[in-house]
Structure 1
C-alpha cells in the first residue's frame, strides 16, 4: 500500500496528519560549547596528573643542577636555595668533548648501518616474503632475549684477542647488532602497508630492486624510517654497559664520562644533574626535531 493511500480517512477513523518535520542537524557552535561528560573530564585530569608525575623528576634534575653541592645534598631538600652554575663549570672543566664526540660518532654511524641493513631485510619479510619468514622474525627477536651481561665476557675476550679494546669501531659494530632486530621488526610493520599497486607500477616502468626501494618505497615509509632511526639513535646514545667494559680513555662515551662524577667522597649530586642534562640535550633535540614523523611512524605501524 502506498503512503498516499494510507493517509486517507476511512469511515471509522479520521485521517492522520502527515508530519513533515525532519531531524535538524545540530549547530557546530552548539556542539563546540557543550560541556564534556564528567568521565571525560576526570580522564583529562588524570592524564595531566600522570604527565606531571613523569615530568617531575626531570624538573627536579634541572633545578638541582643549578644548586651548590651543599644545597643539593640537604635532606629534606631546599627548593628555594640560591642558584649557582658550579655544576656546569665542573662539567666543562672536566673536558667532556672527546666523550661526547665518541657517543655522537658511534650513535650516528651505527644508526645509518642499521637502517641500511634493516630496510632490505624488512622488504624481504613483508613485501617479498621469504620462505618461513615467521621463523626468521622469531630468530631476530630471540637475539634480544639474551641479556647483554651474559655475553659481555666473550665479547671482551674476543676484542682483547683481536686488539679492539678501547676502539670506537668495535662499539659501532656492537651497537649495530644490538639495534638491528628492533629496526627490522619496526620497518616490517610499516612496509606491510605499502600498496601492491605501487610495486606493480614500478615493475611495469622497468625499475629494478634498488631503484624501487630508493624511489618508490622509501618515500612512502619515511615516517617509519625516521621513527626507527630515532629509537636506534637513542638506544645507542644511552648504552652504558658495553661502553663501560670495552672502552677506556680513548673510546669512552658520554654515559661512561658521567659515571666519573660519582665519587666516594659524596657531594656530587649537582654535578651529576648538570652533566646528565647536557648529555641528554642531543637526544632531546633529535626527538623534538622528528616528533611529527615519530608519532606518525609509530601510529602507522599500529594494529587497527
Structure 2
C-alpha cells in the first residue's frame, strides 16, 4: 500500500504491479489538498473520547467482578459477552431511528456514546483478567491505611494494572478508529470520520488507486504510532496471567 501510494496513477494501475516504477508524492499532495483534516479530527475525537469513557466505566466494573466480586458475577460477565453476539447490522436501524428522534444524526457526541457502548463489554472482560492478577494483600493494606474505593482504584489498582489498561486502551482505540458501518450511516458532512472519508474516493470516474493508498496510509498512521509507542505495555498486558 505504501509503495503504491508513491507511484503515479498510471503506474499504480498496472497489472502486474510495476515495483520499479518512478516514485512520486503526487498522491499525498492530492490527498492533503482535498481537505482531510475534519474527518481525521472527528475520528480522533470519537476514538479518544470513547476510549477514555470506556476506561472510566470498565475499571470499576472489572474491580467489582474480580476483586470485590458481586453476587452472580459470572452471569454479569455472560450478559456483557452476549451483547457482542448481536450482529452489528441488526442494530443499525433501531439506533438510526433513536438518533433521528433525538436529533443526534451527524453528531460526533452520539458516536462517542455509541463506540463506548460497543467497546465496553470487551474492555470489562479484558480488565477483569488483568485485575484478577493484582495481589489481594496490596488492596488489604491500602484499606487498612484508610484508603477508600476511589483512592484504591486511582493509586493502587491503576499503577499495578497499567499494562492491562494500556492494552485495553489500544484495542478500544483501534476498534473505534476503524469503525465504518455506523459512522457511514449516522454521520454526514459535519461528523464524518476518516473511514467514511476514504469511501468517498470510490467515484463514478473509477478508483484512483495511488490516491486511495496515500489516504489509507495516512489514516493508518495514528494506530501504527500508538501501537509502536505502547508495544511493550501491549505485549505485557496481553500476556498478563497467561503463565503462572
Taking structure 1 as the reference length, what is the TM-score of the superposition?
Answer: 0.79
The 5 A counterparts of 1:9-20 are: none
Backbone CA RMSD of aligned residues: 0.9
1:88-112 deviations in Å (ceiling 9; x for gaps): 1111111000000000000001000
Q: Which of residues 132, 151, 170 is equivalent to 1:211?
A: 151
* 1:132 aligns to 2:72 (yes or no): yes
d(CA) in 2 for partners of 1:264, 1:298: 44
Give, in angstroms, the shift of residue 247 of structure 1: 0.1
Structure 2 equivalent of residue 39 of structure 1: none
8 Å CA contact retained: 1:69, 1:267? no
d(CA) in 2 for partners of 1:160, 1:150: 17
Stretch deviating more after TM superposition (253-262 or 75-84): 75-84
SS in 1 for 2:17: coil
The structure with more radius of gyration: 1
d(CA) in 2 for partners of 1:90, 1:113: 36
Q: Which of residues 159, 167, 173 is equivalent to 1:233?
A: 173
8 Å CA contact retained: 2:201, 2:207? no
| Residues 303, 122 of structure 1: alpha-carbon distance in 2 compared, 3 angstrom cutoff | farther
d(CA) in 2 for partners of 1:245, 1:115: 26
Structure 2 equivalent of residue 154 of structure 1: 94
* 1:291 aligns to 2:231 (yes or no): yes
SS in 2 for 1:300: coil
Q: Which of residues 266, 271, 296 is equivalent to 2:211?
A: 271
Give, in angstroms, the shift of residue 75 of structure 1: 1.2
SS in 1 for 2:7: coil
d(CA) in 2 for partners of 1:70, 1:112: 44
Q: Which of residues 281, 287, 298 is equivalent to 2:221?
A: 281
Give, in angstroms, the shift of residue 302 of structure 1: 2.4
Taking structure 2 as the reference length, what is the TM-score of the superposition?
Answer: 0.98
d(CA) in 2 for partners of 1:65, 1:93: 15
Which structure 1 segments of 5+ residues have no match?
1-60
Structure 1 equivalent of residue 12 of structure 2: 72
Stretch deviating more after TM superposition (238-247 or 195-204): 195-204
Give, in angstroms, the shift of residue 303 of structure 1: 5.7
Q: Which of residues 10, 35, 49 is equivalent to 1:95?
A: 35
| Residues 136, 122 of structure 1: alpha-carbon distance in 2 compared, 3 angstrom cutoff | same
Give, in angstroms, the shift of residue 267 of structure 1: 4.3
1:232-254 deviations in Å (ceiling 9; x for gaps): 00110010001000000000000
d(CA) in 1 for partners of 2:207, 2:7: 12
The 5 A counterparts of 1:173-184 are: 173-184=113-124
d(CA) in 1 for partners of 2:150, 2:120: 20
Which structure 2 segments of 5+ residues have no match?
none
Structure 1 equivalent of residue 184 of structure 2: 244
Structure 2 equivalent of residue 11 of structure 1: none
* Equivalenced residues, count: 244
